[in-house]
């Protein structure tokens, strides 16, 4: 809604307006080129012909000599802004191992037996389940007057934060009709580019150096990766871990203005919540997805994170928070009472979703939507719908 978007920088309209082509009234057609003389003209090797519009007004008729320059053409770029500078080429990737080449076998998220069984019972699915899925679909397609920023946060590393961010971004791109952005702002080289299958792309720091905060989408698009239809992506950094230049100022000056071109932006930040960059991401977010492992320790870390937010002026995010408990093994979620955790978190206004174990996601390579388990699809749709609903409520 418009009243919640006061923190979004407004682009300067004068910097993006393109005037129609105009013809300068001072320009006059050049005289017709004279016929060449029977005898060759005298060579004048170092003479430079002056511009037509600067010729003296009383200049006499053309004398034998080199042919005059061709007629001046109309400048149809008059009144237009200067053309954008070419995007800087990506720096050469440092030597390393391509993760995709280490995958022995890319398995499906569901076993073959489960897939066959699901196909057999599909006609008999309960009506309330189908209605719930349809309701989620309507919320995912909900129109927005200004772009929504959804932050994906992990209290600790290894929670599956980037995987959840990639899944949710892909769901929005599949069901929405406007643009969707997956923005990686992890200064320590997060896994979002890997999960989306990006290679050798530009970064947010490249875009910041180009100073295109008020440029048009056509000027910005060359810097963005386009992994799926209606989905654009931009990694945060490139290079060795610890050598990144991404900062809170870069996110505020370049990352936030970039989101104005997109209906929904999924921002994947680094592990933790206490850095200045995390605070900038959270303050600019309309909703957040807080990812933790499905263990008692993971649930406790979520409670500590929400307490920290309340103590640092971010308590307004509590009712706009979705907590996702992820399972990294088939038996991990058995140690956590998700129902009890949901009751506790609901008291502060947060919602809870459990994402079960998926064999395809466990491989740790680029995600293939066609190989995800059916339960993973449903969970990703649920997270996306609930996050967008809370972002506009």
Determine, yes or no, domain membership for 229.
yes
Q: Report the CATH number that the domain containing residue 212 is assigned in CATH.
A: 3.40.50.300
Residue 299 CB: number of other CB atoms within 10 A?
A: 22
* C-alpha to C-alpha distance for 161 and 378, rounded to whole angstroms: 17
* C-alpha to C-alpha distance for 376 and 361, rounded to whole angstroms: 9
List per-block mean pLDDT (blocks of 10 residues) for the chain, which spans 393 residues. 46 41 44 48 50 48 48 40 48 51 54 54 60 85 94 91 96 95 88 86 89 91 94 81 72 95 95 92 97 92 94 95 92 78 91 92 86 90 96 91
* C-alpha to C-alpha distance for 264 and 150, rounded to whole angstroms: 7
* C-alpha to C-alpha distance for 293 and 341, rounded to whole angstroms: 12
Q: What's the predicted TM-score (pTM) here?
A: 0.71
pLDDT at 245: 63
Determine, yes or no, domain membership for 179.
yes
Determine, yes or no, domain membership for 27.
no
Dmax (CA) for the chain in angstroms is: 102
| DSSP secondary structure code for residue 282 in this structure | H
Determine, yes or no, domain membership for 62.
no
Q: Which two tokens stand for residue 100?
A: 């995709």
Backbone angles phi, psi at 151, to 5 degrees: -90, 135
| DSSP secondary structure code for residue 371 in this structure | G
pLDDT at 212: 86
pLDDT at 333: 60
* C-alpha to C-alpha distance for 93 and 97, rounded to whole angstroms: 11
> Strands (DSSP E) along 231-378, which ranges?
231-234, 264-271, 287-293, 321-326, 351-355
Determine, yes or no, domain membership for 200.
yes
pLDDT at 261: 97
* C-alpha to C-alpha distance for 225 and 124, rounded to whole angstroms: 41
pLDDT at 239: 56
pLDDT at 201: 77
| Full residue range of the structural domain in which residue 194 is found | 147-392
The tally of domains found in the chain comes to 1
Determine, yes or no, domain membership for 64.
no
Q: Measured between alpha carbons, how far is residue 27 from residues 22, 30, 31, 80, 149 in Å?
A: 11, 9, 12, 18, 50
Determine, yes or no, domain membership for 282.
yes
* Phi/psi-derived region of residue 245, left when phi > 0, alpha when psi is between -120 and 50, beta in every other case: alpha
Determine, yes or no, domain membership for 260.
yes
pLDDT at 78: 42
Angle, in degrees to the nearest 10, between helices 338-346 and 296-311: 10
């Amino acid at each position: 809604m418009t009243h919640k978007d006061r923190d979004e920088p407004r682009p300067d309209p004068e910097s993006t307006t393109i005037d129609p082509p105009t013809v300068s009234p001072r320009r006059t057609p050049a005289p017709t080129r004279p016929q060449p003389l029977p005898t060759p003209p005298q060579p004048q090797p170092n003479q430079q012909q002056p511009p037509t519009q600067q010729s003296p007004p009383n200049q006499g008729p053309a004398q034998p000599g080199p042919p005059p320059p061709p007629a001046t053409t109309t400048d149809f770029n008059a009144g237009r802004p200067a053309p954008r500078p070419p995007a800087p080429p990506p720096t050469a990737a440092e030597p390393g191992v391509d993760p995709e080449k280490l995958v022995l076998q890319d398995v499906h998220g569901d076993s073959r037996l489960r897939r066959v069984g699901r196909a057999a019972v599909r006609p008999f699915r309960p009506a309330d389940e189908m209605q719930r899925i349809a309701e989620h679909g309507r919320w995912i397609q909900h129109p927005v007057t200004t772009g929504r920023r959804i932050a994906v946060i992990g209290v600790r590393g290894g929670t599956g934060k980037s995987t959840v961010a990639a899944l949710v971004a892909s769901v929005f791109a599949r069901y929405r009709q406007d643009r969707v952005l997956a923005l990686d702002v992890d200064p320590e080289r997060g896994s979002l580019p890997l999960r989306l299958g990006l290679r050798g792309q530009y970064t947010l720091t490249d875009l910041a150096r180009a100073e295109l905060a008020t440029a048009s989408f056509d000027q910005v698009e060359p810097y963005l990766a386009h992994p799926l239809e209606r989905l654009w992506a931009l990694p945060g950094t490139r290079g060795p871990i610890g050598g990144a230049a991404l900062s809170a100022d870069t996110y505020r000056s370049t990352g936030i203005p970039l989101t104005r071109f997109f209906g929904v932006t999924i921002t994947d930040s680094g592990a933790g919540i206490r850095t200045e960059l995390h605070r900038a991401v959270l303050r600019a977010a309309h909703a957040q997805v807080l990812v933790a492992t499905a263990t008692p320790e993971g649930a406790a870390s979520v409670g500590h994170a929400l307490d920290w937010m309340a103590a640092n002026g971010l308590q307004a995010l509590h009712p706009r928070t979705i907590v996702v408990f992820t399972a990294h093994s088939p038996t991990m979620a058995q140690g956590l009472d998700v129902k009890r955790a949901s009751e506790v978190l609901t008291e502060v206004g947060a919602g809870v979703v459990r994402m079960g174990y998926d064999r395809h996601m466990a491989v740790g390579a680029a995600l293939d939507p066609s190989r995800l388990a059916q339960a993973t699809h449903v969970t990703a749709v649920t997270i996306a719908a609930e996050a967008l609903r809370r972002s506009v409520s």
